[in-house]
Structure 1
């Protein structure tokens, strides 16, 4: 139970209001260490309670050491996307609803004036996307010197999105902080550990092993496709299946998102769509339409792979395969959340087979191949050539080989 962590009763009230019954594995690991003020490097799959794992200890810190004078925020949470920042803020406000802790959100995509209240009045916790926050720091509208705790949420995604330099500049501005926590869905292939070494002081490394109830049970398979048009036919067929209650379809380009949205409407499959350069109000509206079941399909670029936090998504469909195996994991993590079962389906052309091989190696398992009879592919599965590994020999082995070759040549001469 959450009472074991010596949390304030007002926070226990917020936990009850949020509907949390008992701590998840990542919360059990992080809370004791974070509440002792230690730097934390934590890894946990999406949908396993990571947000509350850092919100609760920072809120407890603010209650234990009340503010003595008005000023700039004391806690800063950096998020990779606007959607994630807004959802983190919602959970923060819920968990701290019985306290006087004030939360603010700073993201791009909205008018600069909309952040005036956060920048000019006392706010305790700010959740921000790196780019817009740095704008305010450079314009001397935001002072990071009062930051006591810095949290980097989904750090692997922020690094993948090219925020390294921006984050480093913000970290330098908040150099008087007492504690830093870095959270990531995966620590593989993203340079997170190297990055963490530069910004964390003697951190505790915590890797959650979610229980079966917490852990997403995601059924994964692929459909082979002969062409982009064949993929579109497969997509429409899948989305019209009765078991597809709420789905997110991923494409790699904005143009593909727009093309698919038009195609789906033409096939009487209403959908919302989400991509990077949409104004914030339109993005919010698209997410709300999916949340409130006005539509049951969202077509999106990878901007939604981390920002979309809806527990009842039943299917994730990769219309385009991602370029990296870890992005595949982030995408399919949109389904099978909070212990629910989920389904992830990938539509795969011949040129995608190299990526499929990487994903299968990364997961240590083969993705099942399935066929829709009326849309059976004509082409056979492409075989990915396996490169022979170069044998590295020691100097002694090289000399021995050279001696052996010289011996054979000497015999031939005789």
Structure 2
């Protein structure tokens, strides 16, 4: 089946085909024909199954080949990163039409976004806070909205955005077409659908016996010792066939520390968390998308809704809060019909939480597998070559010497020294050979920083919580 078979106009289908997108996914096959009739839709499908085009193509087509300027369609998303991604997807789909798309989200200056609105953008993709802010300032008029979409509705519920979403509904006309898309369907979302939708058609793309996690994602549940976990991760990152990888961490501090540790080990990692400026977050995502960085270490909230098709591995550095969080994390891989691998580390203190998640998702693995960096099953499960070590180069951390506390230089596993010492390690030739052995570095250890620098470093870190 093709998009033309579903009733999508030729110019839209051609825009997708130019990027190699020719065959619709199940949620698209079911949602597009219904949405094209003007009916309200509840679309339920697992994360990574193509929901964006499921609602995006119909609204672009119904707006017509030459829509009048001004906001006609509103797509509400939970996070800034998802806002950017959805807007880019919709821009691709309408690239053969004069229809324009504006991404409206916080962390960016108002002027550029207001300019896009005033230029007549017909499709507005935005996060609740910034949308409400611009509406209150009379910079964004939602009085002519014909289509309203809630994307990742369950995520908006988890993040506490439902009151804001209800306010946005109040800003739009009653006669609009409303589409709601979500991976899960908690009671609050069902209640919202009943309140704001008119006899919606409920579309579920999952097979009844398929389970909640995607069948094309292979999952491994390990219990690793805290002091050995980074080494285990380093070896997993050298698995045969590994592509882009997302590592989820519990806190901003942990995400920064793990990212720094991996960089120190020679991996191409970048962090994504809430303490980073919006510009820095966008640079990290751009580097990850382009492949300049192939490892993204992120917190739960910062990474929600990330849609990168070629992610092969997801690593949960710690157990998520609940089964919904696990579904969204794991859903970063196995996207767009590809297969993926998900690894979840369960610490001793998280065993009870894991048992609840295991029961809810029916994994059938209440006890994680005890795993060390030398475990034979790790090499077999991950397809890691024998003898592989968890480093691509020798550590650039300042070694601890008698009588020195080395604060500021390696309190984060050598990460602070990693930035200053990485160039020196490249000159010294401390890279990992194919057999996993490391050549000795010729670089001399750096002296500890002056105490004032160490104090400033410690002060900065205390704010990263």
TM-score normalised by length of structure 1: 0.83
In structure 1, list runs of 5 or more residues that go unmatched.
Answer: 377-414
Measured in 1, the distance between the counterparts of 2:361 and 2:63 equals: 40
Tell me the residue number matched to 2:301.
303
Deviations 1:376-407 (A, max 9, x none): 6xxxxxxxxxxxxxxxxxxxxxxxxxxxxxxx
SS at match of 1:92: helix
Is the Cα contact below 8 Å between 1:318 and 1:347 reproduced in 2? yes
Note if 1:325 corresponds to 2:323. yes
SS at match of 2:164: helix
Change (3 A) 1:373 1:77: closer
Tell me the residue number matched to 1:2.
3
Measured in 1, the distance between the counterparts of 2:120 and 2:372 equals: 62
1:187-202 to 2 correspondence within 5 Å? 187=185, 189=186, 191-202=188-199
Measured in 2, the distance between the counterparts of 1:143 and 1:30 equals: 28
Is the Cα contact below 8 Å between 1:48 and 1:210 reproduced in 2? no
Determine which structure has greater relative contact order: mean sequence separation of CA pairs < 8 Å that are 6+ residues apart, divided by chain length. Answer: 1
Measured in 2, the distance between the counterparts of 1:10 and 1:267 equals: 48
SS at match of 1:339: coil
SS at match of 1:26: helix
Deviation of the 1:322 alpha carbon: 1.1
Is the Cα contact below 8 Å between 2:346 and 2:368 reproduced in 1? no
Change (3 A) 1:67 1:80: same
Deviation of the 1:74 alpha carbon: 0.4
1:361-400 to 2 correspondence within 5 Å? 361-367=359-365, 369-374=368-373
Decide which of 317, 334, 337 is 1:336's aligned counterpart. Answer: 334
Measured in 2, the distance between the counterparts of 1:178 and 1:107 equals: 23
TM-score normalised by length of structure 2: 0.75
Deviation of the 1:30 alpha carbon: 0.7
Is the Cα contact below 8 Å between 1:216 and 1:337 reproduced in 2? no
Note if 1:235 corresponds to 2:233. yes
Measured in 1, the distance between the counterparts of 2:40 and 2:258 equals: 44
Normalized per residue, the structure richer in helix is 1
Measured in 1, the distance between the counterparts of 2:15 and 2:293 equals: 31
Measured in 1, the distance between the counterparts of 2:175 and 2:71 equals: 12
> How many residues of Structure 1 are paired with residues of Structure 2 in the alignment?
370
1:33-182 to 2 correspondence within 5 Å? 33-63=34-64, 67=67, 70=69, 72-182=70-180
Divergent runs of 4+, >6 A: none
Change (3 A) 1:177 1:275: farther
Tell me the residue number matched to 1:219.
218
Change (3 A) 1:190 1:332: farther
Moved more, 236-245 or 313-322: 236-245
Tell me the residue number matched to 1:404.
none
Is the Cα contact below 8 Å between 1:314 and 1:336 reproduced in 2? yes
Measured in 2, the distance between the counterparts of 1:11 and 1:91 equals: 12
Measured in 2, the distance between the counterparts of 1:257 and 1:17 equals: 37
Deviation of the 1:94 alpha carbon: 1.2
Is the Cα contact below 8 Å between 1:249 and 1:316 reproduced in 2? yes
Moved more, 340-349 or 192-201: 192-201
SS at match of 1:229: coil
Measured in 2, the distance between the counterparts of 1:122 and 1:289 equals: 31
